[in-house]
């Protein structure tokens, strides 16, 4: 079996091994493949049987040109880069990687929140620049410092990752409320379920952990922000288009929203004209919630399991049944 990995660098920049996947066939790994030049995608796939992608698109024209494809693996949970309908019509299973980053993404959401509350990076830099040494008082701070105990965390999307964030928030002494289309018993052990409108009205901190659907696209917008508390904090390390970025910029600059911690934006990599780059009190990181080595190793292990299950005739994690 010929296996091609189209964009393996972000998953494995050199600190992991492709060895277990290589044991399953003749493996070719490309660090990056064009996101727009489909001829390059087609040429690199060639007569491969199994194609592994992360963000490289696989539209219908790729399937039309590469008739040997029998399997598609996605090195992520989201699979919108693949034309799953065409793959289904041709009997090609598309398999994703569920649950690999639950702990890492929940941890990162809280890291964004704590940075907003304490501005640790800023104050560390100030010390190294000599400002503490020259200060007249024994301490100083440049931003309001926020204690989270007894404040309310509202989490939109209370699946595995939302619940991981909720557990940490609860351990910090926060009250946790949640909104989810499908409430479940495990979630009720952590949070009290409420409507989205009630969550917006009550929460001191709002964390977004929901998928991107038509019903959730732009859920943080001018109208929903108006329903929130003055001084609310917004955390998003789920999907960038959950937020109308111009509206959040305006709310940050007016002070209606006290701070935002974002690991995702609408177009990635971020563009220089993204309105959030002109927002006050807005922390933006380059989509790295998922990226601790432990999480990426788990992703690699599941990708190998997916491919091995296919070769054994019983594919798992199939998203286009």
Catalytic residues: 239, 268, 287
Whole-angstrom distance, CA of residue 106 vs CA of residue 160: 9
Bridging pattern class, strands 257-262 and 2-5: unpaired
281: its two tokens: 């009190």
Cβ within 8 Å of residue 223, ≥6 positions away: none
Whole-angstrom distance, CA of residue 117 vs CA of residue 134: 25
CB 98 within 8 A of CB 296: no
Neighbours of 227 (CB within 10 A): 13
Cβ within 8 Å of residue 257, ≥6 positions away: 225, 228, 231, 232, 233, 234, 248, 251, 281
């Amino acid at each position: 079996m010929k296996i091609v990995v189209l964009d393996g660098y972000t998953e494995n920049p050199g600190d992991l091994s492709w060895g277990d996947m290589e044991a399953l066939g003749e493996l070719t790994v490309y660090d990056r493949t064009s996101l727009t030049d489909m001829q390059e995608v087609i040429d690199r796939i060639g007569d491969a049987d199994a194609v592994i992608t992360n963000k490289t698109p696989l539209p219908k024209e790729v399937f039309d040109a590469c008739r040997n494809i029998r399997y598609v693996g996605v090195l992520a949970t989201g699979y919108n880069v693949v034309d799953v309908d065409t793959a289904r019509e041709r009997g090609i299973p598309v398999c994703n990687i569920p649950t690999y980053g639950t702990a890492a993404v929940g941890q990162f959401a809280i890291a964004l929140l704590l940075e907003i509350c304490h501005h640790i990076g800023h104050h560390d830099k100030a010390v190294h620049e000599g400002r503490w040494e020259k200060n007249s008082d024994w301490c100083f701070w440049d931003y309001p410092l926020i204690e989270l105990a007894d404040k309310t965390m509202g989490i939109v999307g209370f699946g595995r990752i939302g619940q991981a964030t909720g557990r940490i928030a609860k351990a910090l002494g926060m009250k946790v409320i949640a909104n989810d289309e499908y409430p479940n018993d495990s979630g009720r052990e952590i949070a009290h379920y409420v409507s989205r409108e009630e969550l917006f009205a009550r929460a001191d901190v709002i964390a977004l952990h929901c998928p991107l659907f038509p019903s959730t696209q732009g859920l943080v917008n001018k109208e929903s922000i108006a329903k929130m508390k003055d001084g609310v904090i917004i955390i998003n390390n789920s999907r960038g288009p959950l937020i109308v970025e111009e509206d959040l910029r305006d709310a940050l600059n007016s002070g209606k929203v006290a701070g935002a911690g974002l690991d995702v934006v609408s177009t990635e990599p971020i563009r220089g004209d993204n309105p959030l780059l002109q927002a006050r009190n807005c922390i933006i990181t380059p989509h790295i919630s998922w990226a601790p080595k432990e999480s990426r190793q788990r992703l690699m292990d599941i990708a190998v399991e997916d491919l091995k299950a296919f070769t054994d005739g019983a594919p798992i994690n199939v998203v286009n049944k």
